[in-house]
A and B are shown apart, each in its own frame.
Chain A
Amino acid sequence: MRYAYFPGCSLSSSGYDYNLSLKYVAKALGIDLAEVKDWVCCGASSAHATSHLLSIALPVLNLSHAEKDGFDKLIAPCLACLSRFKAANVELEHDADLKKKIHEVFDYKYQGKVRVYHPLEVFLEMGIEKIRERIRKKLKGLKVACYYGCALTRPPKVCQFDNVEDPQSMDTIVKALGAETIDWSFKTECCGVSMTLTRSDMVLKLSNDILREAKEAGANAITVACPLCQANLDGRQRQIEEAYKTRYGIPILYFTQLMGLAFGAYPKELGIQKLITSPREVLGSVGLM
């Protein structure tokens, strides 16, 4: 199966390990990822704060590249990109006025033919059996809190995926890998990443709430589906521990890294050594590292 692939800015720097593990897993499942030609930034949380038209134009620019190259499906692994892309498609479909303006801005008239998916959606659509077949090593002993963040399910009108307040998609996959997933109430709370540079105090508070809840619910690892959530919960964990005088030491793994481990990949092939909070102890104790 061939998909246009929009890695987004994060996956070439702080989300390098996400990119690596996603590509590994996709290949193992027979999914062909073709990077969108000459892609540019989706505008993330800054474009829509300055101009609505711009916030739609940036995703459209990338979607038209994919459409021109004959793709009708696109994978966006970062939740900021994903939600901008999905919003652009939905708004263009329902707002004729906006569509007219967008067509004025571009030489190429985007037809709205490219459907946008998160890798979770694609994997589940293929069927959980496909994933089970690939498993070489069960992830027994891991107690995982699946953290979905804001933009995978919200707003439901745009995302049209999973249960908005209590999503299950990542839990389904992680359970199929043989790990245990915990029930907790912070699955879709916001980690605050859009304010990471300007109001770090808010980010520390919100991310601390998430880490604390996961730990109290008995998790020994958290799994995420977005490079921004990951950078916050992992990269800032030391700062959070200092600010709140506590110790978590809880590794934040991408769900694709867990899939890769279960598929029998070496940790290095999945970029696991790049995690800031070391997963060595947790993965070591269950014989995965």
Chain B
Amino acid sequence: MTVVFSKENLKLSKDLQTLTGENVMLCYQCKKCTLGCPSAYAMRMKPHELMRATQFGLAEEIYWSGAIWICLSCETCNTRCPQDINILRVIDGLREMSKESEYYNPYPAIPALHRIFMALVERFGKVYELGLALLINLRMLTPFKDIDMASPMLLKGKLKPLPHFSHGAKELRKVMARIRAMEKDRFA
């Protein structure tokens, strides 16, 4: 069988290589990544399938599957890949490139969590665990989720009701603003 790659097919893998330095074309489908992946059971597109899809430039299928958001970032796949591909870096690249306005995402709460997390860090300089949990629960329309876990932790003082501030937050905000300015139109 011959596979003909058009310029359009190759765009995704090229873009990924520019962004992450990883060459997805090295993947020869041994499936080692998928066999060791703790979240493969919950992915509609398994890690090795995802790698194949990046080779073929199937961006739409990749984003529709939502698999990049189900990945736990555990680094098992990178560690075991015989071709030494940093698969998590590829997944992170796809996460960075994802434009939610363009493709359907079955798990919108997961990127939303990352954004809320970073917004709270930008505000306080540190994670505010309780605030993060409350905001994401509201976002998912399940305001009382995990209350059975949170209450003993609050009682034992393991969850703090109020956020901590870092004196480094000001410098952090400056850094984040500079990065935003540098990356403003990188996927335009």
Contact = CB atoms under 8 A, between A and B. Distances in A.
Is B one of A's binding partners? Answer: yes
Interface in A1-59: 9-10, 12-14, 16-17, 37-41, 43-54, 57-58
A154 B76 contact: yes
A52 B92 contact: yes
Nearest to B21: A95
Nearest to A158: B75
A40 B121 contact: yes
A156 interface: yes
Q: Is the interface of B mostly helix, strand, loop or mixed?
A: helix
A101 B182 contact: yes
A155 B78 contact: yes
A151 interface: yes
Contacts of A104: 178, 182
Contacts of A61: 168, 171-172, 175
A83 B110 CA distance: 21
Interface stretch (A126-134, A136-144, A168-176, A232-240): A232-240
Nearest to B74: A190
A179 interface: no
Nearest to A65: B168
Contacts of B168: 37-40, 61-62, 65
Contact of A49 (B114, B145, B146): B114
A105 interface: yes
B144 interface: no
Contacts of B133: 197
B176 A198 contact: no
B72 A53 contact: no
Contacts of B132: 197
Contact of A57 (B109, B113, B140, B179): B179
Interface of B: 19-21, 38-39, 42, 70, 72-76, 78-79, 86, 92-93, 95-96, 107, 109-111, 113-115, 117-118, 121, 125-127, 129, 132-133, 136-137, 140, 145-146, 148-149, 152-153, 156-160, 164, 166-169, 171-172, 175-176, 178-179, 182-183
Given A198-B140, A200-B146, 19 more contacts: A14-B158, A14-B159, A38-B167, A41-B127, A44-B127, A52-B93, A53-B182, A58-B172, A61-B175, A101-B182, A154-B76, A154-B79, A155-B86, A194-B72, A198-B110, A198-B113, A202-B72, A238-B148, A274-B157
